[in-house]
Amino acid sequence: MTTEAHAAEGSTGYIVHHLTPFSVGEGFWTLHLDTLFFSAVLGSLFVLFFKSVAQKATANVPNLTQSFVEMIIEFVDQQVKDSFHGKSELICPLALSIFCWVFLWNFMDLFPVDIIPAVAGMMGIEYMRVVPSTDLNATFALSMSVFCLIIYYNLKIKGIFHFGKELLLHPFNHWLLIPFNILLNFVEYLAKPISLALRLFGNLYAGELIFILIALMPWYIQPLLSFPWAVFHILIITLQAFIFMVLTIVYLSMAHEEH
């Protein structure tokens, strides 16, 4: 996998090059440094910005920054209130983190596809994939964390006995159908993290791919295509962050409620 090899393949090489992560290590112990780096930087941006506002938060007339942050907070809070009826210290901050983090990941998609890789290239880094949501590891890390929380809350709220009974006897309450129920519940529970991760990944991967394809066009056509796509993408990136957050809330509220 060298640059020359990609260059030889023309436009396909260009695309593959753009979608290859900057990685170290072998086999399972491979680390995608670009994904780790950008998601950490974006996460820190989110945390530091919100922290700086939270420190100066006042109950009196808020300034513009505080109003903006409060708008997001109230939006998330409203979403949680709408679908989650239990009491939890974790779920609101969790939803906020997911929403902002995923939004910032996706936002990286709006940077012109060649800028950051070019800068990285000058620093001697050959591969650079800047949008963390186009890395399955990133989206699955989120959805698996949510999945762990789903299992944790199922066990915590319902107890191991009740949860086990639900797995065995739901949806068909008959001992003969226990194997079938297990299979059904297994698929149901597994579908949650997989659908969460793949939805986000698929949308953003496809979006990024189209940006790369547009970047292959002659320069005078590029703005005509990339501008509408970028505007449309503003909707997509917000929507995907929103969907991820809402589904997380819904899954967790399901874990809190008994059937």
Partner 1 sequence: MSINATLIGQMITFTLLVWFTMKQIWPPLIAALEERRSKIADGLAAAEKGQEEMALAEKRAIEKLKAAKEQSADIINLAQKRANEVVEESKLNAKKEGERMIEAAKAQIEQEIAQVKESLRQEVAVLALKAAEQILQKEINKAEHNDIIAKVSNQLGQA
- Quick count: other Cβ atoms within 10 Å of Cβ 167? 17
Closest CB 28 distance from partner 1, rounded Å: 5
User: Which residue, 29 or 175, has its beta carbon nearer to partner 1?
Assistant: 29
Give the distance from CA 119 to its chain's centroid.
25
Task: Pinpoint the alpha helices (H) of 108-221.
Answer: 115-122, 136-153, 159-169, 178-215
Closest CB 244 distance from partner 1, rounded Å: 12
d(CA 197, CA 246): 14
Q: Which residues bind partner 1 (CB under 8 A)?
A: 23, 25, 27-32, 35-36, 39-40, 43, 46-47, 50-51, 53-55, 57-60, 62, 66, 69-70, 73-74, 77, 89-90, 92-94, 96-97, 101, 132, 135-138, 140-142, 144-145
Number of residues written out for the chain:
259
Closest CB 242 distance from partner 1, rounded Å: 17
Q: Which residues contact 192 (CB under 8 A, 6 or more apart)?
A: 143, 146, 147, 150, 247, 251
Query: Are the CB atoms for 14 and 212 separated by under 8 Å?
Result: yes
- Which residue out of 11, 52, 173, 195 is catalytically annotated? 195
Q: Please give the structure tokens belonging to residue 11.
A: 């436009």
Closest CB 18 distance from partner 1, rounded Å: 13
Would you call 195 a catalytic residue per the annotation?
yes
User: Which residue, 2 or 55, has its beta carbon nearer to partner 1?
Assistant: 55
User: Which residue, 14 or 105, has its beta carbon nearer to partner 1?
Assistant: 105
Q: How buried is 259 (Cβ within 10 angstroms: 0-12 exposed, 13-18 middle, 19+ buried)?
A: exposed
- Which residue out of 133, 143, 203, 253 is catalytically annotated? 203
User: Which residue, 46 or 189, has its beta carbon nearer to partner 1?
Assistant: 46
Would you call 129 a catalytic residue per the annotation?
no
Closest CA to 252 of 100, 80, 113, 117: 80
Query: Are the CB atoms for 164 and 109 separated by under 8 Å?
Result: no
User: Which residue, 149 or 226, has its beta carbon nearer to partner 1?
Assistant: 149
Closest CB 41 distance from partner 1, rounded Å: 10
Query: Are the CB atoms for 60 and 47 separated by under 8 Å?
Result: no
Q: Which residues are catalytic?
A: 195, 199, 203
